[in-house]
Amino acid sequence: MKETITALLGDALNTLKQQGEVPDDIDPTIKVEATRDKAHGDYATNLAMMLAKPAGKNPRDLANALVAALPESAAIRQTEIAGPGFINFFAATDAMAQIVARILDAGDSFGRNLTGAGEKVQVEFVSANPTGPLHVGHGRGAAIGDSICRLLEATGHDVTREFYYNDAGAQITNLARSVQARAKGLDPEDDDWPEDGYRGDYIIDVAKSYLAGETVHADDRHVTGKTDPDDIDAIRDFAVAYLRREQDLDLKAFGVEFDVYFLESSLYEDGNVEATAKRLIDGGHTYEADGALWLRTTDFGDDKDRVMRKSDGEYTYFLPDVAYHLDKWQRGFKQVINEQGADHHSTVTRVRAGLQALETGIPDGWPDYVLHQMVLVTRSGVEVKLSKRAGSYVTLRDLIDEVGRDATRYFLAARRADSQLTFDIDLARSQSNDNPVYYIQYAHARVCSVLRKAENEGQRFDHDLAMDHLSQLTTDQEKALMNRLSRYPEVVAHAARSHEPQHVAQYLQELASDFHTCYNAVKVMVEDPSLRNARLALGLATRQVIRNGLDLLGVSAPEEM
RNA sequence: GCGCCCAUAGCUCAACCGGAUAGAGCAACGGCCUUCUAAGCCGUAGGUUGCAGGUUCAAGUCCUGCUGGGCGUGCCA
């Protein structure tokens, strides 16, 4: 619909250019928007106002000229010029009802498009180090990151989900020492407990499993415990595998799967870290000071230079970060999106600066970032800070166990990433109308219920009959619902383009609201078979769109509640 | 101190490269179940979009300066 109107306006604009009403050399992007207010028709454009200045004409006169030059179209019932120069379009009722046929025809693929043209996109998210169970912040990253992936897939991209982690650094050594301490029966209160050791109860489980010689299988590794409490290397390998498996189970429970697990250590093994360092040094972008090697990132927009090799000869995390992103680029990802917590935002400028310093033709501003702000968890209005298992934070698993996967995913993805999120456990748990997840799922279940009823009464949905009588969908509530349905593809396109899944959540809530309103106002199971089937078709179309939208958020669409 | 992010109804939030009268839900108040799931619907009330300027035909949206909050500002990741 939007495309149709855009095309019509394009023709009209060309006509005006030929008539000399509008200068040839201006070429505005024609913007057609769905209206907020029904009184303004179904779609509107501000084209006349955009043209007013360059054409040196009054916007309302231009609007008149544009309307006069508009080709005939069966899709448009009426146009009108309003306000300072908007052109409003009223869709023909028959054309509007055809959305129902289009949705049923397209099914699961309704709302999807091919604008991505198969372009390879890599999304890196979660990327938690294997030092403990995933926490709520990782959960937010997982919900947003995976939803972005689903949106990109829905818009025709070839998506790779990647998880990057460090299995060899100082934190991992710390983990190994903590497990070893537990294996030797130490307690965080004991004097010999490692400094800054991990204190959570889960460390006890790792130690027990190691001593028992168990074998753990994670998505990217399999390790058997050696049972020797003095073999720190064996403990390290085992602990990493154990916690990787733990995280995999968390992710699986959350409905998130990765294509690639990328190890920071592999960058050292493959010589990529050294090669990156050499390239930066050879390029003349480094200098020695205070016994360390610095990269002059200030030449590339950073506010201070950064240490890349410490005075003890080890590299900082910064250098492998650059090497890792160079590797992404060399793997052919022209588009890379990094979803991470905003507490790491300082790496954005740094990594980009490092990549520029490599002078390999990587565009300025690559890669893209989506940063999410902190999550605060509350219960009974009080902040929840601790989980028994992890010791110092609320785990993702706690939330999934307590409020369920659907509600957890919905709540973590339904808010803009860059605003702080309060996760209200009581609200997410409540099976009532204050919980948007249930509100949306209930709409889906209600359609299913009507369909069951039709079936039970021997009045199965008759597709052909329905398609012939869609024009009988004429009540205000039905029209509003169809209008909402027709906007779904734009919502998907916009959410995918902007990497903002919350638009889908918002839309689904509005769609559910329109449906419930319609459901209460318009009885489906009426005597007249043609009207009944047309309404069943509208219900089916609504169900389809809710299902498609929930899928983009990784939330299920139950048939009954 | 400096950098990034945020500030919208009592509360939690939305608002599509700037567009018409800023929208939902909760909480409050008043209605609707002998009728397809009341986990629902209808109605009422609630706003100087933190403050002050600026750009524009048009600003919650862009720019500048304030105020308040979060995060960062390690040779940690």
ipTM score for this prediction? 0.93
- Nearest nucleotide to the CA of A166, by C1', is B77
Q: Are A76 and A90 in contact (CB under 8 A)?
A: yes
Which residue approaches B23 most closely, CA to C1'? A36
Structure-token pair, residue A541? 């179309």
CATH 1.10.730.10-classified regions of chain A: 433-553
The protein residue nearest nucleotide B35, judged by CA to C1', is A523
Distance of A301 CA from B2 C1′ (whole Å): 14
* Whole-Å CA distances, A442 to A124, A448, A492, A542, A561: 33, 10, 22, 12, 7
Instruction: List the one residue out of A397, A355, A540 whose CA is nearest residue A463.
Output: A540
CA(A498)–C1'(B3) in Å? 24
**Measuring CA to CA, which residue among A532, A520, A479 is closest to residue A99?**
A479
Distance, angstroms, CA A404 to C1' B35? 35
User: Which of these, A515, A476, A551, A540, lies nearest to A103 by C-alpha position?
Assistant: A540
Å from A518 (CA) to B31 (C1')? Answer: 19
Give nearest nucleotide to A80 (CA–C1'): B20
Per-residue pLDDT in tens (0 to 9) along chain A, 561 residues: 777 888 888 888 888 888 888 888 777 778 888 887 777 888 889 899 888 887 888 888 889 989 999 998 888 888 989 888 899 998 887 888 899 999 999 999 999 999 999 999 999 999 999 999 999 999 999 999 999 999 999 999 999 999 999 988 888 999 999 999 999 999 999 989 998 899 899 999 999 999 999 999 999 999 999 999 999 999 999 999 999 999 999 999 999 999 999 999 999 999 999 999 999 999 999 999 888 999 999 888 888 899 999 998 889 989 999 999 999 999 999 999 999 999 999 899 999 999 999 999 999 889 999 999 989 888 877 788 777 777 778 899 988 998 889 999 999 999 889 888 888 888 788 766 567 888 899 999 999 999 999 999 989 999 999 999 999 999 989 988 998 999 899 899 989 999 999 999 999 999 999 999 999 999 999 999 999 999 999 999 999 999 999 999 999 999 988
Round to whole Å and give the CA distance between A316 and A286: 14
First-last CA distance in chain A: 35
What pLDDT does residue A433 have?
59
**Surface-to-core class of residue A231, CB atoms within 10 Å of its CB (0-12 exposed, 13-18 middle, 19+ buried):** middle
Rounded Cα–Cα distance for residues A85 and A45 (Å):
9
Alpha-helical segments (H) within A294-388: 318-330, 346-358
Q: Are A227 and A213 in contact (CB under 8 A)?
A: yes
Q: What is chain A's Cα-based Rg? A: 29
CA of A419 to C1' of B51 (A): 21
- Integer Cα distance of A172 and A161 in angstroms: 24
pLDDT value, residue A93: 77
Distance (Å) from CA A156 to C1' B49? 37
CATH topology of domain A2-91: Gyrase A; domain 2 (3.30.1360)
**C1'-nearest nucleotide to the CA of A88:** B20
A517 CA to B29 C1', in Å?
22
Which residues belong to CATH 3.30.1360.70 in chain A? 2-91
Peptide bond into A558 cis (omega under 30): no
Fold for A433-553, please state it.
Isoleucyl-tRNA Synthetase; Domain 1 (1.10.730)
Query: What's CA A199's distance to the chain center, in Å?
Result: 33
> Which nucleotide's C1' atom has the smallest distance to the CA of A509?
B24
Q: Give the per-residue pLDDT at A330.
A: 96
Euclidean distance between CA atoms A337 and A123, whole angstroms: 5
Phi-psi region of A390 (alpha: psi -120 to 50; beta: other; left: phi over 0): alpha
Closest residue by C-alpha to C1' distance, nucleotide B71: A343
Token pair of A269 as six digits: 């093994």
Strand B nucleotides in reach of protein CB atoms, 7 A cut-off = 2-7, 12-17, 19-21, 23-27, 35-37, 39-42, 57-58, 70-77
d(CA A70, CA A68): 6
Give the closest nucleotide to A304 (alpha carbon vs C1').
B73
Sign of CA dihedral A379, A383, A389, A393: positive
